[in-house]
């Protein structure tokens, strides 16, 4: 799941020309932090729908903003002692056991949440970038 803001390539190229690559990277990473926290909170509320022990909700984490393949990004995922990262895909996609397909309560919840919050996430990143650069 990734979000793309249209027209940002041209804007970022002009800003990079004006400010320099290092300054622009720092500003982009600063904009990603609050946006990632927003996504984390939305994911937590989405997975709380099918929580049992609460481990799935409690283990949602946000990584550090990093430059990957030339793009600044931040990962939102699961990490903790209960190992939810290894089984969350079963809730999202369902599973087959002994020839029978099981559809858990959380089937498709993460994708639906992503689709719902994508415009708000993009607007948040855009407004933070405007505030930092203007």
| Per-residue confidence (pLDDT) for residue 131, from 0 to 100 | 87
Contact 39, 117 (CB under 8 A): yes
The domain tally of the chain equals 1
| 19 vs 83: CA distance, rounded Å | 43
Q: pLDDT digit string (tens) for 90-103?
A: 989 999 999 999 99
Judge whether 126 lies within some domain.
yes
The pLDDT-based confidence of 8 (bands split at 50, 70, 90) is low
CA atoms within 13 A on the CB side of 98: 0
Judge whether 3 lies within some domain.
no
Residue with tokens 């990584």: 63
Judge whether 35 lies within some domain.
yes
| 125 vs 12: CA distance, rounded Å | 13
Judge whether 85 lies within some domain.
yes
Contact 11, 27 (CB under 8 A): no
- Shortest CA distance to 4 belongs to which of 104, 122, 108? 122
What three-state secondary structure class fits 87? coil
The range of the structural domain enclosing residue 60 comes to 8-133
Contacts of 126 (CB under 8 A, 6+ apart): 5
| 46 vs 129: CA distance, rounded Å | 27
| Per-residue confidence (pLDDT) for residue 10, from 0 to 100 | 79
The pLDDT-based confidence of 66 (bands split at 50, 70, 90) is very high
Judge whether 40 lies within some domain.
yes
Judge whether 56 lies within some domain.
yes
pLDDT > 80? residue 5: no
Judge whether 96 lies within some domain.
yes
Judge whether 2 lies within some domain.
no
| Per-residue confidence (pLDDT) for residue 102, from 0 to 100 | 92
């Amino acid at each position: 799941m990734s979000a793309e803001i249209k027209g940002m390539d041209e804007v970022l190229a002009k800003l990079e020309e004006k400010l320099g690559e290092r300054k622009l990277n720092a500003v982009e990473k600063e904009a990603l932090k609050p946006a990632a926290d927003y996504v984390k909170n939305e994911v937590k509320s989405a997975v709380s729908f099918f929580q049992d022990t609460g481990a799935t909700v409690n283990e949602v984490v946000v990584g550090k903003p990093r430059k990957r393949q030339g793009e600044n990004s931040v990962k939102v995922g699961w990490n903790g002692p209960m190992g939810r990262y290894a089984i969350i895909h079963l809730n999202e996609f369902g599973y087959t056991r002994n020839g029978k397909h099981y559809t858990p309560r959380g089937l498709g919840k993460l994708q639906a949440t992503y689709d719902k919050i994508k415009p708000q996430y993009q607007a948040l990143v855009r407004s933070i970038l405007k505030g930092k650069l203007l």
